[in-house]
Structure 1
Amino acid sequence: MIPIWFLCALAASVFSALGNFTHQKLGGTNTASAVWMKIIALTISIPMIVRSGLPTEPMFYVMTAGASAIWCINDLVYFNAVKNHGAALLSRLWPMGTILGFMAWFFIKPDLFTAYMQDMPRFAGIIFAVTLCVGCAIMLQRCAFSAAAFKAVWKVILLGVLGIILVKSAVDYAPSNQSVFGYLGIEAAIMLVFYGIYFKLRRPAAFREVTSLDGAKTGGMVAAFLVSAGVIRMYAFDAVDHPAFVTAVCMLDVVWLMIITRIVGWEDKSNKWAGLGIVVAAIAL
């Protein structure tokens, strides 16, 4: 029987690909897409929160607040990079964070590392996957297009590792009937507050980008796909033991984006094989 977390992660990958393609196709601003994504997330979460209530464990809110701060930075940088470098290329770089996250999770759950060490074929596979990732990363640095994109997002890839750990930790502190929409709603509310403070202090023009008709239309379309992906992905996180498993399956959005890019005739001059090697390494883990 196919695990429910796998089916959820697979569906999330499809919606994620459609959301990123829409952002690149419509040329929306990073602020509009990021903010409308959280507006929609909060809107759909409120009825579910009213029905099931909110988690009572304080650490849930600590972990959620930490993840929210990270995703505020990540979303703005990522959406800008998608517009400048292309969703397909970015999707092949993002799995580096999964591999780092896989290794970092062992510090949170050391018993998993012990279990893997006792299974030598599996442990050897992990070593192979990490080695493959390192080799492909070196190849990417020799490709001007891939190197430029990596330079734009490497910091948020590293931040994303911590973000994934915080998300998984947050949902573990909540009952299963409250974890998904509890996290989604609280995270969205915190991020909207963070965005408001940031725009007020540093980017006043961002308010107009978000509230304009074009910003609302473009951001809303992107948000509809990506929020759907986020909700389904949260259910997958809640049902799995190791968060990297979900993230790895979600990276199949690489395949969907390559297919879409080919269909619409967009040119991609980056080193596709090296990027796919990183994806394969992450999924293999």
Structure 2
Amino acid sequence: MESEAPGAAEPLLSVRDLRIAFDGIEAVRGLSFDVRPGEVLALVGESGAGKSLTARALLGMVPRGATTGGSIRLRGSTDLAAQRGRRIALVPQDALSALSPVHPVGDQLAAAVRSVSRVPRKEARARAVAALERVGIPDAVRRARAYPHEYSGGMRQRAVIAMATINEPDVLVADEPTTALDEARRDQVLKVLGEQREAVGAALVLVTHDLDAVRHHADRALVMYAGRLTELGPADRVLTRPLAPYTAGLLAALPRNARGRRLPTLPGTPPAPGALPPGCAFAPRCTLATDLCRRKEPEPQRADGRLVACHHREEA
């Protein structure tokens, strides 16, 4: 069960009962969701929630040594690695690490083109320059000959957006794409990412802890805790009327929501994958927790046009 809106568009990407474990300990536990054509789905939660691991699984890039269960289908295919760069592409968190330091940026974009299409080198090079121009890099012909260390942080992030979109994929996966940037550059990069996503008609899975970015850029939000779905629904509803206590706690801890009062914080810390409490993993930190919560893990249920995994969703 995933769709919190029966009758919605046929999913482009479908995840069912995804499980990712290391040495038998599950870090992602039975996660199910869909990504619809052209939408922006944000994966939200504290560090360790399993967001980035889920994002990597969508690209067929689960870390070595991990075991997986469940299924991920992109347009019906489960061969994600074969579709990476063509139908699904990554916008990484650290652009400097993602780009080769020993090749000009333009050469790397041209190589991305030639990895999925047998076009002449000259045509691939022209497409690389055009891609840099589209993301707002000035003097793109000259900049295409430059190396990543000669780019600013914001320019490098624009370059990896150009690389991710150059083959016009169906789905983009952006893993904390603005982490290393200041607020002004963060907003610029998110704007460019949105523009390029729309230009190629791609859906976007945006991994972020930035709820303001979710508020302004996402259609739907999937809130994760301890490797599971906590709440999934339209971003405006999730961020203005949360039904899960965990979502409510995240929102209350935003500085602008304190309104002159002491900033509230969520008590405690998320549990390690190998040290989950019985019942609901959030129960030790939740002010609404009861014996039922400490005994039985809640399953996602439909409520107010979304999915919520909480025994006390009406009280949150």
Q: TM-score, normalised by structure 2?
A: 0.23
Pick 1 or 2: higher relative contact order, CA cutoff 8 A, min separation 6: 1
More strand by share: 2
Q: TM-score, normalised by structure 1?
A: 0.25
Between structure 1 and structure 2, the one with the greater Rg is 2
More helix by share: 1
